[in-house]
Structure 1
Amino acid sequence: MNTPKLLFYLILFAMAGCAESKEKEDEVIYSYVEEPHSYAKPNNAFVNHLNLEIAVDFKNEIITGKAIYDIVNNNSTQIILDSKNLDIESVMADGKETEFSLGANDKILGQPLTITIKNDTKKIEILYKTTKDSEALQWLRPTQTADKTKPFLFTQGQAILTRTWIPIQDSPQIRLTYEATVQVPKGLMAVMSAENPKEKTENGLYHFRMKQAIPAYLIALAVGDLNYKAISERTGVYAEKSMLNKAFDEFSDMEKMVSAAENLYGDYVWEQFDVIVLPPSFPFGGMENPRLTFATPTVIAGDKSLTSLIAHELAHSWSGNLVTNSTWNDFWINEGFTVYFEMRIMEALYGKERADMLALISRQDLDDELEYLKDTPNATKLKLNLKGKNPDDGMNSIAYDKGYLFLRTLEETVGRDQFDAFLQEYFKKHAFSTMTTEKFVTYLNTNLLEKNKITFNTDEWINQPGVPENQAVVTSDRFKNVEHILQEFIEDNKFDKELTKEWTPQEWVHFIRNFPTTMTVEQMKTLDDMLNLTNSSNSYIQMVWYEQAINHDYHGRNVDAKIEEFLTSVGRRWYVETIFKAFKRNDRLDDALKIYEKSRSNYHSVTANTIDHLLGYESDSDVLEPL
């Protein structure tokens, strides 16, 4: 073949190759993993942007409006969203009314909302309203707020409750951007996990934008008589008027925390890190909604002693919000990393001793959880199988504290410098993506263990029950001193109050939690008379003291009334569950049920559902019946 012909055929071959390559580029293949807690089929079609236009109606306790979605359609004729306890009025596809259906209702998952589309549909629109059974929403009367003058509303989406106030593809692996227009009553402020206002508008109309893609569980809304106070250019607090200065003082180290976190694992990419202090019924210590962490008022102790919670929620800006667990079976990917990161922030700001005290409390929490789950050992694995179960079942100390211990053990095995470099690259490489446990293990092996010729029992840590023998051991001289003082009191009834003047709340918690079973009522009374523990103003100390009062059948100094007051005013699930567990463990179920009958209406559904199950409360009946 002569040279001109050869060149001609080579050019044709190259052009054909380019065309074939271009076709492959245009054929985007999506590889979402199987999701046991969502009806969505994102490999066929998924939402990548939401425009929400809603009105908040306090009188009828509903949200009404429409949700407009930009979708990515992989040549499908239907798209499936999750819906639970919503009233779906109509659906449009590309501006024309289309057919939709709601499938069979599942108590946990709700219903699949199947919408007919064309294979080139790019936008759908849903008119809907919430109902009295929308579990994400808690509507609060003025008397249930701090200022007691105006009503309040907040949402809680994690794990799968966003579908109860927005029809959505409610899977953590499906990320979307969003904007919202929210109408609320005049005199109230609306804030979201988005770009937020700093002052109330005259007409109660607010506009929001979240330009970074997030999973649906991080879409959040709060409405109340809120005020804002800046701590720095990128940090600040929202709260009701009576709480604003307290919150500002308590969280004044927030900018330092952000800087410390950036020094560890890279830039904070969400621009703003604000915290809103919610009413006490909020079910968690905090919720890491991007740009606006939701927080319980129980962390406001007056001395910044409980602000490790803020460090925890900040850490989620990397582990959870930036790199997200693909499914709730991989929940430890969010929380184990975050506890590890939290401890590193606390060490950087407040020193190794304080961080180690927090780590030891974490270890004690893990031991308690392992004991509680001893009859269900598979529940103590990091990688879970929650199919057919509520993902809340996996939101316990295993994901948080066993996950942390696994990572700390890795750090001590490979060395802190190498582990930090590994995590920095991990967050950078996987930013705005999701992570399965299996994918993480592959990444860990390739980029840390094999690279450094290190053998580590990763599979045992992740896929086996309990805690392996090769675990990091944390010690604290201050805790050893606490234990010595407690032992001296138990043996000789000697207690020098002066020795405790400089104790942190963590030391008090360690002291109280380690009361032996042989502790007498007289000894409990001696400590209470001396230290006034029943009337402590620190919520964490209150929780552990009330638990021990129940454990040791102590009824002095009006402690029973204080326990009831605590349970009827605080809705934080960890605190409430700890105390109700103590009642049940000590055969005082009748006492627990009497208090719960009074307190249940103050709890968010997340807390109420947990305590319903614990105490055997039949929530569909007016009668309390042990299961």
Structure 2
Amino acid sequence: MNTPKSLFYLILFIMAGCAQPKEEKAIVYSYVEEPHSYAKPNNAFINHLNLDITVDFENEIIKGKATYDIVNNNSTQIILDSKHLDIQSVMADGKETEFSLGANDKIMGQPLTITIGKNTKKIEIVYKTTKDTEALQWLKPEQTANKTKPFLFTQGQAILTRTWIPIQDSPQIRMTYEANVQVPKGLMAVMSAENPKEKNENGLYHFQMKQAIPAYLIALAVGDLSYKAISERTGVYAEKSMLNKAYDEFSDMEKMVSAAEHLYGKYVWEQFDVIVLPPSFPFGGMENPRLTFATPTVIAGDKSLTSLIAHELAHSWSGNLVTNTTWNDFWINEGFTVYFEMRIMEAVYGKERADMLALISGQDLDDELENLKDTPNATKLKLNLKGKNPDDAMNSIAYDKGYLFLRTLEETVGRDQFDAFLKQYFKEHAFSTMTTEKFVTYLKTNLLEKNKITFNTDEWIHQPGVPKNQAIITSDKLKNVENILQDFIVNNNFDKEVTKDWTPQEWVHFIRNFPATMTVEQMKKLDDLLNLTNSSNSYIQMVWYEQALNHDYHGKNVDAKISEFLNSVGRRWYVETIFKAFKRNNRMDDALKIYEKSRPKYHSVTVKTIDELLGFEPDEEVIK
């Protein structure tokens, strides 16, 4: 086809204009100010991490290289979070570059500032952990179930991932990741990613997490592990001596996943596995995507404590899929998750069991409100944690007040409407973060105003305590427990047969409600009848040992049993409850004597809490 000459020159002129280099304009990102991270993500942020690390049990360090793909908004520097790390070298665009570590903050660590070019898309850091790294717990063989090989696990929430990876450690910054992890032969490595099902010969494992997650959900465990599938997408990892127990205990996992999907939409993480960690794990569970970390204390032999698994599964939507933007919004993760947990438990095990769990959750909330009565601002859902460790806010307010707020909303608007609202909420905000203010706006627009409903949202979120218009939860079974206890207190009557079908929730409700006037003789009578000091259920043990301390009961060698419990369980909730009882009952000498022996067995998260509770100041040489 022929083209007129004038048109030909016009085309050349236009093409030449298009070919001229244009100055890149800065893109406006909407990351909010972060009180617990040094990162400035509106300037530059990580969107993919590639780890190449070696796990060195002999020296108790992780060492290697982290490579990052970054989104660079015409910035000449990127800032990461680092705490107790040895940063050895940094490269940008394949060349060594300048970096500096700022002043150290006890809570936040140090800002790692790296010089980059305006077009830099990749940086690389060679580093290793140190003896002070808080996220890692290195366990000797005797501290494991099999007692033959060492074990390592990480705990990143809230801001501890920066202690084993230099990272932008903010929940609002999401990234994909992959990793090559070299471990000693005979051990298996697993992560919050696509995982192996068997050990390999060379101890080198490759991982990939294709969905973007915040840094606190990057997790690693290394040990003498085996795997047993429950269904095509669920299964358990554990040391061999624990594997069949874990499999039996968690055999309803597929039912839970199906129930959760029916409620609030597709499970998007493909695999839902659970790893049972050694007893020093500081939490009940941790919702690391694809691989929930769990304490062995939930293995009771009767599936009676598996609400914890329902809770961590619920995090696959609330927390992992829709994440609190900052730790000031922590209730956005946990209040929703407790609500969802109860709904899963109701779907799988029935309303009566779910309501018992909810009532005990309410008791935990009442206790927390009493503990915080002198700091009422700490009982608000929306917090201001600037200058504070976000771990200190991980209490019953976020969990149980958050749950009660959502339960009250459900009863106000109706379950069907509330379910439809939540399903849409998770769908519209998948793989994003949520502030309290943004959620309130969404709630008002899509549920309350839409249905002409008036609700005191501000009072629930921004005021101390719990509003009067809270949902009223009842349980016939727990009411019956109260009647049995009252009969025993008044008439000293107790028929052991009434307890034969009790759930742990009924036992806990019974024991927790012992009055202050209960005598040592009455404690002894119950212990003789029910053998509570030697219970095999960790939850029952915790509340019974607390009451033994409260009532100065020393029968059945209970003091030795309490010491044994504190030396074999590292779950912070359990440990803190019992040490608080020692302190409350003026037995600090006994508490400190036990703690000096048990402290080296605890994870740093538990250690920090108990050190502060007991005013314990260790020598520098004492191992965490």
What TM-score results when the alignment is normalised by the length of structure 1?
Answer: 0.95
Task: Label 1:597 to 1:210 Cα distance change in 2 as closer, same or farther (>3 A).
Answer: same
For residues 549-560 of structure 1, the aligned pairs below 5 Å read 549-560=548-559
**1:93-492 alignment, distance < 5 Å:** 93-492=92-491
Aligned to 2:58: 59
Residue 64 of structure 1 aligns to a residue whose secondary structure is strand
Q: Summarize deviations over 1:512-555 as a string: whole Å, max 9, x none.
A: 00000000000000000010000000000000000000000001
The equivalent residue for 1:4 is none
User: Deviation string for 1:165-192 (max 9, x for gaps)?
Assistant: 0000000000000000000000000000
The alignment of Structure 1 onto Structure 2 pairs a total of residues equal to: 604
Q: Does residue 602 in structure 1 map to residue 597 in structure 2?
A: no
Deviations 1:110-132 (A, max 9, x none): 00000000000000000000000
Change (3 A) 1:224 1:51: same
**How far apart in 2 are the matches of 1:189 and 1:180?**
14
d(CA) in 2 for partners of 1:622, 1:175: 37
Q: Which residue of structure 2 lines up, in the alignment, with residue 524 of structure 1?
A: 523
- Classify the secondary structure of the residue corresponding to 1:33: coil
Equivalent in the alignment of 2:87: 88
Shift of 1:24: 13
Aligned partner of residue 176 in structure 2, secondary structure: strand
- In structure 2, the partner of 1:497 is 496
CA distance change for structure 1 residues 620 and 75 in 2, over 3 Å: closer, same or farther?
farther
Specify the alignment match of 1:8 in structure 2: none
CA-based RMSD of the aligned residues comes to 1.4
Code of the residue aligned with 2:319 in structure 1: it is G
* 1:302 Cα deviation from its structure 2 partner: 0.1
Q: Report the alpha carbon displacement of residue 28 of structure 1 after superposing the two structures with TM.
A: 3.2
Distance 1:324 1:24 in 2: 35
CA distance in 2, matches of 1:580, 1:488: 31
CA distance in 2, matches of 1:24, 1:523: 82
Post-superposition offset of 1:27? 5.4
CA gap 1:570/1:473 in 2 versus in 1, 3 angstroms: same
- Cα deviation for residue 486 of structure 1 reads 0.3
Identify the range of structure 1 (496-505 vs 538-547) with the bigger mean alpha-carbon deviation: 496-505
Distance 1:362 1:33 in 2: 32
**123-132 vs 26-35, which moves further:** 26-35
Q: Residues of 2 paired with 1:393 and 1:500: CA distance?
A: 37
Deviations 1:483-514 (A, max 9, x none): 00000000011001111111111100000000
1:29 to partner: Cα distance: 1.6
- TM-aligned CA distance change 1:379 to 1:24, over 3 Å: farther
Unaligned runs of 5+ in 1: 1-14
Q: Counterpart in 2 of 1:510? A: 509
Whether the aligned pair in 1 keeps the contact of 2:192 and 2:291 (CA below 8 Å) is: yes
Counterpart-to-counterpart distance in 2, 1:546 and 1:170: 38
The Cα of 1:619 is off from its aligned counterpart by: 3.5
Shift in Å, 1:622: 7.0
Q: Which is further off, 585-594 or 358-367?
A: 585-594
SS of the equivalent of 2:430 reads: coil
Q: Counterpart of 2:617?
A: 618
For 2:6, the equivalent position in structure 1 comes to none
What is the Cα deviation at residue 591 of structure 1?
1.1
Aligned residues of 2:51 and 2:180 also touching (Cα < 8 A): yes
For the residue of structure 2 that corresponds to 1:566, the secondary structure is: helix
- Matched letter for residue 303 of structure 1: D
* CA displacement, residues 58-106 of structure 1 (integer Å, 9 cap, x when unaligned): 0000000000000000000000000000000000001000000000000
Amino acid in structure 1 at the alignment position of 2:225: L
Amino acid at match of 2:242: M
- Tell me by how many angstroms 1:26 deviates: 7.6
Measured after TM superposition, the shift of residue 440 of structure 1 is: 0.4
Using a 3 Å threshold, how does the CA distance of structure 1 residues 580 and 185 change in structure 2: closer, same or farther? same
Task: Return structure 1 stretches of 4+ with deviation > 2 angstroms.
Answer: 23-28, 619-623
AA aligned to 1:615 is L
Distance of 1:458 and 1:579 partners within structure 2: 36
Task: Tell me how far 1:230 sits from its aligned partner.
Answer: 0.2
Partner of 1:6: none
Confirm or deny: 8 A CA contact 2:520 2:551 kept in the other structure. Answer: yes
Separation in structure 2 between the aligned mates of residue 559 and residue 370 of structure 1, nearest angstrom: 30
Deviation at 1:618, TM superposition (A): 1.2
Residue identity in the other structure for 2:85: L
Deviation of the 1:620 alpha carbon: 4.9
Distance 1:294 1:404 in 2: 23
Q: How far is the alpha carbon of 1:220 from its aligned partner?
A: 0.1
Q: CA separation of 1:455/1:311 partners in 2, compared to 1, >3 Å: closer, same or farther?
A: same
1:546 is aligned to 545
Taking the aligned partners of 2:434 and 2:371, their CA distance within structure 1 comes to 29
Distance in 1 (CA, whole Å) between partners of 2:447 and 2:259 is 24
What one-letter code is carried by the residue in structure 2 that aligns with 1:148?
K
Deviation of 1:25 after TM superposition, in Å, equals 12
Match of 1:434, SS state, is: strand
Shift of 1:588: 1.1
The amino acid of 1:67's aligned partner reads A
Q: Which amino acid aligns with 2:33?
A: E
Deviation at 1:590, TM superposition (A): 1.4
TM-score by structure 2 length?
Answer: 0.96
- 1:452 maps to amino acid: N
Question: Can you give the 5+ residue segments of structure 2 that lack an aligned partner in the other structure?
Answer: 1-13
Task: Please report how far the alpha carbon of residue 586 of structure 1 lies from its aligned counterpart in structure 2 after TM superposition.
Answer: 1.0
Three-state SS of the structure 1 residue aligned to 2:50 is strand
CA shift in 2, pair 1:38/1:619, >3 Å: farther
Determine if contact 2:26/2:74 at 8 Å carries over to the other structure. Answer: no
Q: 1:290 is aligned with what amino acid? A: P
- What's the secondary structure of 2:175's corresponding residue? strand
SS at match of 1:314: helix
1-structure distance, mates of 2:29, 2:395: 32
Indicate the residue corresponding to 2:8 in structure 1: none
